[in-house]
Amino acid sequence: MSPKASALGTSLPHESGHLHVSGEARYVDDLPPPRGMLVAQALTSNVAHGFIRRLDVRRARVLPGVHAVLTAEDIPGHNDISPFARDEELLASSEVHCIGQSIALVVAESLELCRAGLARIEIDIEPLPAILSIEAARAAGSFLSNEHVIERGHLETAFAGAKLRLEGTVETGGQDHFYLETHASLVTPLEDRSFLVQSSTQHPSEVQAKVAEVLGLSSSAVVVECPRMGGGFGGKETQAANFAALAALGAHHTRRPVKVWLNRDQDMICTGKRHPFWSRFRAGFEADGRITALEVETYSDGGFSADLSKPVLDRALFHLDNAYFIPNLRFSGRVVRTHQPSNTAFRGFGGPQGMFVVEHVLNLAAERLGLDSAEIRERNFYGPAPRNLTPYGQEVTENRLARIHSELLESAEYRARQASIAAHNQSHRWKKRGLAFQPVKFGISFTNAMLNQAGALVNIFIDGSVQVNHGGTEMGQGLHTKMRVIAAHELGLPLSRIRLMTTATDKIPNTSATAASSGADLNGQAVRQACVTLRERLKEVACGLLEIPETERAGVIFEDGQVRHPASKMTVDFSALTVRAHRDQVSLSATGYYRTPNIHYDEAQGRGHPFHYFAYGGAVIEVEVNGFTGEHRLRRVDVLHDVGDSLVPSVDRGQIEGGFIQGLGWLTSEELVVAESGELRTHSPDTYKIPALGEAPPDFFVHLLERAPQPDVVHGSKAVGEPPFMLAIGVITALRQAILAYGSGAAELSLEIPATPEAVLRAIESRREPR
Amino acid sequence: MGYTAAMKELSFILNGHEVKERNVAPTTTLLQYLRQHLQLTGTKEGCAEGDCGACTVAVLDPHGEDGPTYRAINACLVLLPMMQGQTIVTVEGLKTGDQLHPVQQKLIEAFGSQCGYCTPGVVMSLFEACYRKDLDAEWKVDDQLCGNLCRCTGYRPIRESARSLAGRCPNDRFLEDLRQAESSERSVHYESEGELYLAPESFDALFDHLDTHPDVRLVAGGTDLSLEITKRFVRPKKLLSLEAIEALSEHRVEGDTWVVGAGVTLSRLERPAPKYAPALARMLRFFAARQIKNRATIGGNLCTASPIGDLAPVLLMLDAEFVLRSRAGERIVPSAEFFLSYRKTALRKKEIMSAVRIPILTAHAEHRLSAYKVSKRQELDISAVSAGLRVELEHGKVKRARFAFGGLAATPARASRLEAAVTGQPWTEASLEKALPALEQDYKPIDDHRGSAWYRMTIAKRLVLGFLLETESEPSPEHAYRPTGTVDPEASR
């Protein structure tokens, strides 16, 4: 049997799997220390808001083993690390805006000496009033953005005519990224005032720009490499620049390599998280559960600086509709400024927070109207025109919601299980179950059109082996695995001939962050294009080598490491072809470039086309709740997800399962407890509980929607990184149903997020004894 | 001095090679040593507190219940001198030439790594599982892995790998090492960078050291003490380890008492506990993670006297006694008199806990007992409330009650008012409901990030009620594989 012509669409191990399991995979902190390497630690603010009255580092500077103690005055360039708003200092110059903000940097021969140096710094911070909640920020008029409004239809008329009117508020909390690898950067000074930055970052180009800016250099003097990340999830999109710039500042002053690595507590205290949101809503429904009107006024906690808070808020607004057509609506949102670390990108990027609001509203309506979770959602799905227009005017195309709904409910035996759960709940006093259906529609593209571009550089060597460079970073999501398959497919080579190279800004310049689920879409097209360019060049060489007329060139095919012309039964090894190409003075190196067409959005009008397409998915979730303690468990989860024609199904499945469990953590166990001082109380896994192995459902069935190619995306595939996270919202719907089974109280069920055992018990108790 | 051979250097086997070390401070953790001194960077630091498992390595324990066995431990929670005489395997030591170990191969094939950062730790936990002979239930396999956090995969492939690897025990060089395993010199007298680490083999030597170094800190498994080093950057100048005293790590039955040496690790308790103290076995299922249980000792857990220590409520409930030993000899203190105030115990200066005496109680319809733990996350979490509950009945009325709780007060303590309130009363739901308010006189729990005072008090009451219901048909209930809650009042239906 001949080997399969292409690995495209087959399940493959992670590209670095063999390195992961043997401990050979290197992360920034694992790199061999360059000669003379120093380490650095920052003095950080211990007050949420304050004025630096005095900062004296002289005693620290004279400590043997300490090579430099640096403050804002020592920054040769601009004291700024913000992605665009110019509102975030690398080292606070006079005012501190959150606990954990860097004020000074000690560079020394060991972490212990750094700590000794830090202890010798004399600092006097005058505390100023701190704003620590959305509520307080709104009251104080503390905002980071203007109001963004999207509206259509006739809201008040629709409310007046609604059979069911609901109003209320809803809150979702923050979430720490808890990538297993904390932030790390190693900066080595090179010749002629240039620097090599090795950083655990999703955005090497931004790290490059910020390091250059802080040091007062041009970007060409800085090379940023990202070997791989031990997880990112959005937390290393903008926030890595901070620690790379600190290391660079140290390297600049000491002329020695400097590493900045955060321990877990530092990482959790100093860095931004998922945005907490607070929303007020009014909704109107028909008696059959169709939503006719929805007004949502939402506020996110941006922390102390803009960071990416505005685009996060925008995406929340773009996902307040989730999968549902809402004829009359007004969505408005604004980012508040508080004295917390600046909140940032996190898988879903506001999407989960927006979607949670409409799902909450649907839950309330279904509970009032006696509809089941699948029924009310299906009735509200986007459909054919005119029910295909999003609030911002983009058409919902390739709509797979109805298909997912029907296929999933059948495969998950939804109706039969619903009946058996009802019977179970009748006969069990202290254990109740709930079953929920959760659909997701998620817009794919950076909503900032400029970011939707990517580059690649593919080098073929004379021996026929290939190096693939692209602008994306590998954080575990399997991007390199997918890029390798695309290159192998286009060049007709076995995977073993394709090597993925460290992401580096001197290979691929001016890249966008690997974010917005877009890594494979954008970089895949660029890699593909570079490979196609090379293949076409090689075809011409092949014609010469195989003595085929130039007109027959289209008949030359590349597969299994060979180049064939079936018509003339001629075959040559790929490596023979590359030897010939080099001899013929044909370049074996090519770049590829891709930009997503037709992305635009007019915020003033609240109208546009911010997404290239939509990804869809659905989940059926069963939970059990213990009425004694509020503890709860997932019993079974069925997912049907639309990834188009999967490039690598094993990778996509991994993203779906991992995303779901991360969403589960956000909604049920991960709790950022902040003291009145603004201090984060849960800053390590001792107190901040992400799901452990036992939280994974015993039955976890994940299927990819079949026969679902996506037009205009590389090989018909679709983005998968973020959408599955939001499937976990259905856990809350299922929990509500189980809780409702405990009592017959007429009062509306109130369940706090995260739905910890304590929150669930409170909800059960409030149902039992109406208060 | 009581020790015989004053050791100037530490020696151990690391990935098949003998290592001798004399220049590293004794408060260096194994993780720091591997990464910074040996540049073995496969083992990762994810939290430095034993909660994530990224630093998991395996050590060979020649004294397993089923013979020699590998044990996964957190490299961040052991100090280098604790490795004296041990055989250590790190992720770098698993390949044979270019050949991956079956656990490595399986994890790749199961798509069990994404970012790869937790993976070396997962691999080493799987490595222990692979050579364990007692992973005969799915919950045990889950328990084996609950100390390895993964943020990427959602765990399904890891769980699948674990189930297929558990007990596979390939006939390879690692199995051969188990066959050849023998006890080694564990005593330590090591001094470097102005820090002293002592691990004597006899009580006499121990008490000599205590006389010579009145300022020495005692350490057993080190899982608690290491946190001071990794989290608060404290460097104790002098440490005195109990680890090399063999008598402390033995357990035996004396009549109707199970006598457990204070140095017995929690994982070694797991095998005999279901027979002699099923309530303790039940608590161990929700106690920390495998890596911690492989190092932490029963005596260590009790002597730290943490208000949220999980063993204390069970032992209080069982009317266990603690054997305290000094040069003068042994004295026996009832568990109810051991915990004096916040982190203060009845231990005197130059005295250690040497054993725990646990009455072997036979549960039956008139004598019911169980243990509970409620936490935000069921696996590897510190309890909001833990409880050991026991009633002796006579003609349907309570003759004696032992209700002990952790998490409700400054020490683990018995609920004497509630005990009094139920004594002499019928053991029924209605009667208990009337007595439960007495619990509010026993404890004034606090609000913190693990639970509010309301939650703690509510749960405490619920656990007593749940205990009543749960033990109606099963006087000493076992847990289902995946209980939805810590108490299952419907278990008998």
pLDDT digits (tens, 9 = 90+) for B114-141: 999 999 999 999 999 999 999 999 999 9
Do B253 and B329 lie in a common domain? yes
CB–CB contact A18 B450 (8 Å): no
**A22, B43: Cβ pair inside 8 Å?**
no
Clarify whether residues A569 and A629 are in a common domain: no
Q: Is A490 helix (H, G, I), strand (E, B) or coil?
A: helix
Is the domain of A615 the same as that of A682? yes
| Domain-embedded: residue B50 | no
**Which of B334, B359, B384 lies at the terminal end of a domain, its last residue?**
B359
A1 has pLDDT over 80: no
Q: Are residues B256 and B323 in the same domain?
A: yes
Please check whether residues A611 and A676 belong to one and the same domain: yes
Q: Does A434 touch chain B (CB under 8 A)?
A: no
| The pLDDT of residue A769 | 56
Chosen domain end from B308, B324, B359: B359
* % of chain A exceeding 90 in pLDDT: 97
CB contact under 8 A, B49 and A430: no
Q: Is residue A189 part of a domain?
A: yes
Is the same domain home to B440 and B390? Answer: yes
Residue B200 lies in a domain: no
pLDDT tens, position by position, B13-24: 999 999 999 999
pLDDT digits (tens, 9 = 90+) for A430-486: 999 999 999 999 999 999 999 999 999 999 999 999 999 999 999 999 999 999 999
B163 at the A interface (CB within 8 A)? no
The whole-angstrom distance between A454's CA and the closest CA on chain B is 22
Last residue of a domain, one of A238, A270, A302: A270
Instruction: Return the CATH number at A487.
Output: 3.30.365.10
Interface of A with B in 633-652 (CB under 8 A): 633, 650-651
Q: What is the pLDDT of residues A753-765, one digit of tens each?
A: 999 999 999 999 9
Give tens-digit pLDDT for A497-506: 999 999 999 9
Cα nearest neighbour of B466 on chain A: A628
Q: What pLDDT score was predicted for residue B66?
A: 87
Contact A626 B104 (CB under 8 A): no
- Report the pLDDT value the prediction gives residue B490, as an integer from 0 to 100: 77
Model pLDDT, residue B7: 67
Give the pLDDT confidence of A126-175 residue by residue, as tens digits.
Answer: 999 999 999 999 999 999 999 999 999 999 999 999 999 999 999 999 99
Please check whether residue B377 lies inside any domain of the structure.
Answer: yes
Name the domain count of chain A. 3
Out of A18, A629, A631, the one facing B108 most closely (by C-beta) is: A18
Is the CB of B141 inside 8 Å of chain A's CB atoms?
Answer: no
B458 with B373, same domain: the answer is yes
Domain boundary among the residues A530, A564, A595 is at: A595
- Give the pLDDT band of residue B491 (cuts 50, 70, 90): low
Cα angle A217-A223-A225, degrees, rounded to a multiple of 5: 145
Confirm whether B171 is domain-assigned.
no
Same-domain check for residues A489 and A560 = yes
Q: Which of B318, B340, B359 is the last residue of a domain?
A: B359
Residue B330 belongs to some domain of the structure: yes
- Enumerate long-range contacts of B422-428, CB under 8 Å, 24 or more apart: B422/B391, B422/B398, B423/B398, B423/B399, B424/B397, B424/B398, B425/B397, B425/B398, B426/B396, B426/B397, B426/B398, B427/B391, B427/B393, B427/B396, B427/B397, B427/B398, B427/B468, B428/B396, B428/B468
Say yes or no: A768 contacts chain B, CB-CB below 8 A: no
pLDDT range class, residue B487, cuts 50, 70, 90: confident
Residue A93 within a domain: yes
B260 and B347 inside one domain: yes
DSSP string, A538-587: HHHHHHHHHT--GGGGGG-EEETTEEEEGGGTEEEEHHHHHHHHHHTT--
A746 pLDDT higher than 90:
no
- From residue A243, alpha-carbon distances to A35, A230, A248, A476 in Å are 21, 16, 8, 21
Residues A116, A47 share a domain: yes
Q: What mean pLDDT value characterizes chain B?
A: 94
For residue B374 the two structure tokens come to: 């409620």
- The answer to whether residues A579 and A633 belong to one domain is no
Residue A506 inside a domain? The answer is yes
pLDDT tens-digit readout, B299-308? 999 999 999 8
Residue A11 falls within a domain, yes or no? no
Tokens of A130: 């701190």
Q: Is residue A12 part of a domain?
A: no
Distance (Å) from the C-alpha of residue A119 to the closest C-alpha of chain B? 12
User: B485 and A686 in contact by Cβ < 8 A?
Assistant: no
Q: Quick one: B267 and B341 in the same domain?
A: yes
pLDDT-derived band at A4 (thresholds 50, 70, 90) equals low
CATH of residue B390's domain is: 3.30.390.50
Residues A664, A722 within the same domain:
yes
Domain range for A407: 277-447+603-768
Residues A247, A248, A254: CA angle, nearest 5 degrees:
90
Specify the pLDDT at position B4: 45
Question: Residue A631: its chain B contacts at CB < 8 A?
Answer: 374, 378, 484-486
Q: Are A490 and A636 part of one and the same domain?
A: no
Q: Do B351 and B444 lie in a common domain?
A: no
Give domain status of residue B271, yes or no.
Answer: yes
Instruction: Give me the half-sphere count of Cα atoms (radius 13 Å) on the Cβ side of residue A711.
Output: 4
Average pLDDT over residues B384-388: 95
C-alpha–C-alpha distance, residues A728 and A659, integer Å: 8
Q: Do B335 and B419 sit in the same domain of this protein? A: no
For residues B168-185, average pLDDT: 94
Q: Are residues B250 and B341 in the same domain?
A: yes
- Please report, for residues A4, A465, A557, the alpha-carbon distance to residue A493 in angstroms, rounded to integers and kept in the order given: 11, 9, 11
Q: Which one is catalytic: A722, A748, A752, A758?
A: A722
- ipTM value for the complex: 0.97
Average pLDDT over residues B212-219: 97
B479 to chain A nearest CA, in Å?
14
User: What band does B185 get if pLDDT is binned at 50, 70 and 90?
Assistant: confident
Inform me whether the C-beta atom of residue B149 falls under 8 Å from chain A C-beta atoms. yes
Angle between helices A240-254 and A204-215 (to 10 degrees): 40
CB contact under 8 A, A20 and B120: yes
How far from chain centre, in Å, is Cα A102? 25
Q: Is the pLDDT of residue A771 over 70?
A: no
Task: Give me the pLDDT at residue A682, please.
Answer: 97
Tens of pLDDT, residue by residue over A600-627, are: 999 999 999 999 999 999 999 999 999 9
Question: Domain range spanning residue B346?
Answer: 246-359
- Residues A424, A296 share a domain: yes
A722 is an active site residue: yes
- The answer to whether position A172 is within a domain reads no
Residues of chain A contacting residue B44, judged by C-beta atoms under 8 Å apart: 27, 180-181, 230
Question: In the A/B pair of chains, how many CB contacts fall below 8 A?
Answer: 265
- Cβ–Cβ of B116/A230 closer than 8 Å? yes
Q: Is residue B233 part of a domain?
A: no
- Beta-strand ranges (E) seen in A426-507 are 431-444, 453-460, 466-470, 498-500, 503-504
| Total domains in the fold of chain B | 2
For residue A762, list chain B residues with Cβ-Cβ distance below 8 A. 455
CB contact under 8 A, B117 and A180: yes
- In a domain, residue A7? The reply is no
My answer on whether A263 and A200 are in the same domain is yes
Nearest 5°: phi and psi at A641?
A: -125, 145
| Distance (Å, whole) CA A238 – CA A49 | 22
Same domain as B375, residue B303: no
Nearest to B119 among A20, A660, A695 (CB): A20
Nearest beta carbon to residue B116 from set A25, A631, A698: A25
Say if A358 falls within a structural domain.
Answer: yes
Nearest Cβ partner of A231 from B100, B152, B154?
A: B152
Residues 595-634 of A with CB under 8 A from B: 624-626, 628-633
Interchain CB contact of B24 with A (< 8 Å)? no
Q: Which of A212, A246, A270 is the last residue of a domain?
A: A270
Instruction: Tell me, yes or no, if A679 comes closer than 8 A to chain B by beta carbon.
Output: no
On the question of pLDDT at A670 being above 80, the answer is yes
Tens digits of residue pLDDT in A86-126: 999 999 999 999 999 999 999 999 999 999 999 999 999 99
Report if residue B3 sits inside a domain.
Answer: no
Residues A120 and A245 in one domain: yes
Is the same domain home to B320 and B303?
yes
Put simply, the chain A residues between 105 and 124 with a CB less than 8 A from any chain B CB are: 112, 115
Same-domain status, B316 and B333: yes
Is the predicted pLDDT of residue B378 greater than 90, yes or no?
A: no
Do A588 and A613 fall into the same domain?
no
